[in-house]
Each structure stands twice: as structure tokens, then as C-alpha cells.
Structure 1
Amino acid sequence: MVSAGRVCCITAPFLLSIAVLVCLVLVFLAGTHDRNNTLDDLYFLKIDLRNITLTSSANLLGDGNSNNETVLGGALQAAKQSLGLKDFYTVYLRNYCSWNGDDTYANCTSPKAYFWFNPIEVWGLNDTGIDVDDYLPKSFRHGLDVYHDASKAIFYLYVIALSATSVTLLVGISAIFSRWGSFFTTFCAAAMAVLILGASVTVTAVYAIVKGALNETLKKDYGIKSTVGTRVLSVTWIGTAFALGAGFFWLLSVCCCSGRSPYNPASREARRTRAEKTPYTYERVGSPYLGPSDQQSVPLNTFGPRPPSFAPQPQHGTAYEPFRPQQV
């Protein structure tokens, strides 16, 4: 029989673990459905290309005509005019979406593992006849390299965190019956907390670097603005807080609330409870005819031998055992 106190003891960490699972599922589902504002608002990075412009500080092409197009700016304008460059791009964990005007979150790509957003490839800048890789600033290339290298780590951290959360919930069911269940669940919860914390820290730092690299290179000279998605960061950090709380309460449940019910007749607690709640028991007493019992060392009468006429007659069976309260 399950103890009600044990159920109450693990309710908080179990609910917190479910909340962690919900947060991770939202991160994975973000961007997978076209025109779904609820899920597609959970982007890591948003790039606005509506106002591609050039400034006089940009390096000009020396083609003899002294036109006002830079190498990178010319590639961007060519991509905008001939290659269908979109107004907006939003980047998610496993894909990206792109759209023009008010058709928000349209044209979402199929989700895939180890996804990373390469603007040079996605925008088709090398398909404009200009090898823009040779004209990219060092900070821009460094930011993309960091993002590319970290994209696999981010994906692994979120996937393993999701798996650890699922295992925590499954193993946590055994914690209803025993503190040993809480003991093993605590290890799973600790792994869950460490993984989602690592994922949150990594994704926050990486996309801050990417945003800085894009804005430093593209915002001032070309009018392309990049912003980090605060909603998805809120979701992943809230999930991290839930995971840390779940780990703490799972650890606390190891020390508190035994899984055995005191009302189970076969349990030691039940026998102890009955002994404490029943101060009176029955005990056999000596018979005046059959003599004292084994527990009595003094006979019931201390008179001398009786005359033969008063000798007790042999009795058959056992005498009635009166109720006698136990001295406590």
C-alpha cells in the first residue's frame, strides 16, 4: 500500500520535471509549423533585410565606372532582385523560416539535426557571380565559425537533456513506493539539470556572438538588422530553473517520507502502531484448580495442605481465562 505522505513528498519534483519536459518540447517544435505564431515566435535569431542600403564608408568596386555598389552590398542587392531574397529570416534549433511582408513565419524548412544557418549559402550570395567570401570581414567569419562549431554541441545538449528528462519521469514513478526510487531518480534529475543548464548557457552565448557579428558587418553599411529571440531564451532558462528545482526536491525526497504505509498489516510500522495503540493484552493466569501457569512462580494460595475431603478433583479441559489488564 502506497503511503499518502510519500505521494505528497514527490509531487513537487514530479511536476517540476514535467514542466522541464514541456519547455524542451517547445524548443524542439519551434519553427516546424508554417504561420504558427505561438511556436514560431520561439526563434533564436531574426534577421530583417527590408532596407538594404549602402553608405559612403563602404569600399567601392574599382571597375572604372565609379558606381556606388560595394562587393558585398552588390551581392546582396543582386540576391534581393534575382534570387528571391526574403524580407525576414528567423532561425530555430532545427530549421529556419523566411517570408516577405506580413506573411509571417511562412516557408519554414524541414527540421534536421545539427542545423546551422549559413547566410552566405541561404541567401545565395556566391551565386551572384561574386566570391563574397574574400570580402567578408574577419569578425563576421569568426562569428559564423563559432556558430557552426557550436551548433552540434547545442543540438546534442538539447537532445540528451530531453532524453534525461523523460528517463527522470519514468524512474520517478518508482519513487512513489520507496526512497530508493528517489535515490536513483536524483541521479537522472541531476543529469537533466546539468544538460539543460549547459544548453541554455551555450545557446545564449553563441547567438549573442552571431548577432554581434552580423550587426557589426551588415547593420551600419547595409541596413540589415539582427535580433536575438527573447521568448525562446526565456523558455529555455525557465526550463533550467525548473530542472534545478526538480533536482533539489528529488534529493530532498530521498531523506523524507518513507514509502511504507503504517496501515499495511504486514509492515513493521503497522505492528509497532498496533503495539502503541493497544496498551491492554491478554495473558494466561494460573487456575486455582490446576496450579500456577508457567509464567507464575508463586501459587495462587499459600495455605497448607487441605484435608482429603477438600482435595481438588481432577478437571477435564482448560479453565476459563479471565481478562487481566497488563501493567504498564
Structure 2
Amino acid sequence: MVNAGRICCIAAPFLLTLAVLICMVLLFLAGTFNHNDTVDRLYFLKIDLTNLTLDPTSSSSILAGSASDSTLLSGALNAAKQNLGMKDFYTIYLRSYCSWNGNDTYANCTDPKAYFWFNPIKVWGLNSTGVPVDTFLPKTFRDGLDAYHSASKALFYLYVGSLTASVVTLLVGISAAFSRWGSFVTTFCASAMTVLIIAASSLASAIYIILKAALNESLKKDYGIKSTIGSHVFALTWIGTAFAVGAGFFWTLSVCCCSGRSPYNPGNREARRTRAEKTPYTYERVGSPYMGPSDHQSVPLNTMGGHNYAPNRPAQMGSAYEPFRPQGV
């Protein structure tokens, strides 16, 4: 039978694990609904092209064959903006991205997919402008994009692992209501959940900071393309991490505290049975004199009447019967 004290003991880690699961679900839902401010603002990175600055002479310079690298990139951006439908805003999520113009916020969200990564060269169509942009992109831009691409698959695995571990911890945690052995097994699941979400949050913070720095250094000054980190999603993932750490601590604590067994279990006959045990220091009468006649205690414990065993004292007639009081007193 479930002990009420045991339920109270595991309530805190169970609710904290549930909070971790909610954080992970919100993170996976982000970027999957058009015009949804609740979850679509949970983006990792936002790219703002509203202040895009282009060299008006870039096209003629390209045609003349005298264009520099920056002029070539400006020409490619100009062609993408004019002819390929480049949007004003792009928001990057774990499994998709959204793009829109003006106030049409969080529109045109792509279908979510595993191992997603945002490739601006492909999304903006720079390779479709007739300019070989891969050959003259700034080194910082290429390095930051390569690092982000390499880490995106690991990031997806870590968040999937965190989501799965939180579900498993909740399911296994139900057994912790019955015994501390259940808490012992649940602690391993909670530990795995904690390690995975710490790694995921740390990796996400690192790679998107690197990507933001690479984009701003390469595109902000010369072209007016600004990138910003999404504060909401990082608050969500680190709050989920804090919940996971707390859940792991309290699951471990529940192994040592609040046993699930109750000595007053009504289903246990042995627990309900009243036991009467002899106390060790009670008085039991013995034969008198000790080890003497046992014929119904025929020898009195003390002299009565005319017998006097003290030679120099007169007999005490009519004294009270006090079996344990010495006659010489």
C-alpha cells in the first residue's frame, strides 16, 4: 500500500521532472506554427535584414569584371533581395525556421525536421544569383557557419535525449511511491536527464553565440544585416536545466528518506496482533526458606507468636504479620 509520507517525499522531484518535460516540449514546438507568438518567439537566433545596405554599383562592377569580394557579395545579396524573394526577418529554431516581411510576424514557418540547420547561402539563394559566393565569403563567416553545421546534429540528439529521459524518469518515478528501491532506479534516469540537458543547453549557448558573432562580424558593418540571440529560448532551456538539477537532487534524497513500508499496515496480521510480553523486573514469589519444603509453602516466611530466634530478646506476641520484615528490626 502507498504510504502518504512517501507520496509527499517524491512529490517535489516528480513535479520538477514534469517541469523539465514541459520545457522540452515547448522547445520542440517552437517554429512549427505560423503567427503563434507563444511558441514561435522561442527562437535561438534572429536575423534582421530591414537595414540591408547594398552597393548600387555592384552589378555594373560584376559585369565589368573589376569587382572586389565585398562588391561580389553585395551584388549577390542585391540580386537575392530583388529577384529571389529574400525576407526581412529570419528566426532559427531547433527544427525549422520562419521568415516574413514587415509586421507579418512569425510567418512562413518551414516544416520541422530532424538535424535541422540554417544555411543562409541556400535559404537566401545566393548561389542562384550567378555569383560564386562560396569562393569569396569572409573566413569568419565560413568558420562560424561550419561550426554551427557540425554541432547542429549533436544538439538535436542531446535535446531528444533530454526529452526522452524526462519521460522515462516520470514513468519510472511512479514506482518510487512504493519503495525506496523505486527511487534508486529513478535516480539513474534523473541523472541521465540532468547530464543531457546540461550538455544541450551549454552546446546551444556556445554555437549560437559563435554563429551570431560570425554573422555580425561579416555582414553587419558592411551590409547592415544584424543578428540577435533569442533570450526567451535560452531562458527556457536553462530554467529546464535548473529544474533537472533540482529533480536529480530530490530523487537522490528520496532514496534515503521516507520508507514506503508502514508498521501499521492493516493488511498485515502480524502488525495488528497485540503482543503482551513479560517485563523483566517483576516480582515472583519463591519458596520459603529458599529451596526448602514446597508442600504448599508449609514453612512461614516469618515467625508468628511465641517463637523468638533472637536469644537475648523476649518473644514478640501479637506482632503484625510482615513476611519480609526482619524480626530484629
Pairwise TM-score range, normalised by the shorter structure: 0.7 to 0.9
Q: How does 1:284-299 map to 2 (within 5 A)?
A: none
Q: Does 1:201 align with 2:196?
A: no
Measured against aligned partners, the alpha-carbon deviations of 1:129-180 in whole angstroms (never above 9, x if no partner) come to 1010111011100000000000000000000111111000000000000000
Structure 1 residue 300: Cα displacement: 10
SS at match of 1:27: helix
> What does residue 14 of structure 1 align with?
14
Structure 1's consecutive aligned runs of 4 or more residues displaced over 3 angstroms after TM superposition are 60-69, 265-272, 278-281, 298-301
> What does residue 167 of structure 1 align with?
168
> What does residue 316 of structure 2 align with?
none
Q: Which amino acid aligns with 1:32?
A: T
> What does residue 31 of structure 2 align with?
31
Structure 1 residue 77: Cα displacement: 1.1
Measured against aligned partners, the alpha-carbon deviations of 1:260-279 in whole angstroms (never above 9, x if no partner) come to 1232145599469x65xx78
Contact map agreement 2:20 2:240 (CA 8 A) in 1: yes
> What does residue 43 of structure 2 align with?
43
> What does residue 238 of structure 1 align with?
239
Structure 1 residue 106: Cα displacement: 0.4
> What does residue 323 of structure 1 align with?
none
Q: Which amino acid aligns with 1:154?
A: L
Distance 1:120-1:67 versus aligned 2 partners, 3 A rule: closer
Structure 1 residue 45: Cα displacement: 0.5
Distance 1:302 1:137 in 2: 117
Contact map agreement 1:94 1:111 (CA 8 A) in 2: yes
Structure 1 residue 302: Cα displacement: 2.4
Match of 1:302 among 272, 297, 301: 297
> What does residue 250 of structure 1 align with?
251
Measured against aligned partners, the alpha-carbon deviations of 1:81-107 in whole angstroms (never above 9, x if no partner) come to 100000000000000000001000000
Aligned identity (percent) is 68
Q: How does 1:1-328 map to 2 (within 5 A)?
A: 1-54=1-54, 61=61, 63-64=63-64, 70-267=71-268, 270=271, 301-303=296-298
Aligned residues: 283
SS at match of 2:175: helix
SS at match of 1:70: helix
Distance 1:300 1:106 in 2: 110
Measured against aligned partners, the alpha-carbon deviations of 1:274-315 in whole angstroms (never above 9, x if no partner) come to 65xx7899xxxxxxxxxxxxxxxx9894249xxxxxxxxxxx
Q: Which amino acid aligns with 2:2?
A: V
TM-score by length of 1: 0.80
Greater C-alpha radius of gyration: 2
Distance 1:116-1:269 versus aligned 2 partners, 3 A rule: farther
Contact map agreement 1:55 1:221 (CA 8 A) in 2: no
Structure 1 residue 51: Cα displacement: 1.5
Q: Which amino acid aligns with 1:302?
A: Q
Contact map agreement 1:260 1:267 (CA 8 A) in 2: no
Distance 1:66-1:138 versus aligned 2 partners, 3 A rule: closer
Gap regions ≥5 residues in structure 2: 280-292, 300-329
Distance 2:212 2:14 in 1: 37
Give me the CA root mean square deviation.
2.7
Contact map agreement 1:16 1:242 (CA 8 A) in 2: yes
Contact map agreement 2:179 2:259 (CA 8 A) in 1: yes
Contact map agreement 2:62 2:72 (CA 8 A) in 1: no
SS at match of 2:95: coil
Distance 1:299 1:226 in 2: 108
Structure 1 residue 110: Cα displacement: 0.1
Q: Which amino acid aligns with 1:240?
A: T
Measured against aligned partners, the alpha-carbon deviations of 1:40-73 in whole angstroms (never above 9, x if no partner) come to 01000000011211479x9x94654978981111
Distance 1:241 1:62 in 2: 53
Contact map agreement 2:62 2:75 (CA 8 A) in 1: no
Contact map agreement 1:52 1:77 (CA 8 A) in 2: no
Q: Which amino acid aligns with 1:36?
A: N
SS at match of 1:15: helix
Structure 1 residue 120: Cα displacement: 0.1
Q: Which amino acid aligns with 2:221?
A: K
Distance 1:141-1:269 versus aligned 2 partners, 3 A rule: farther
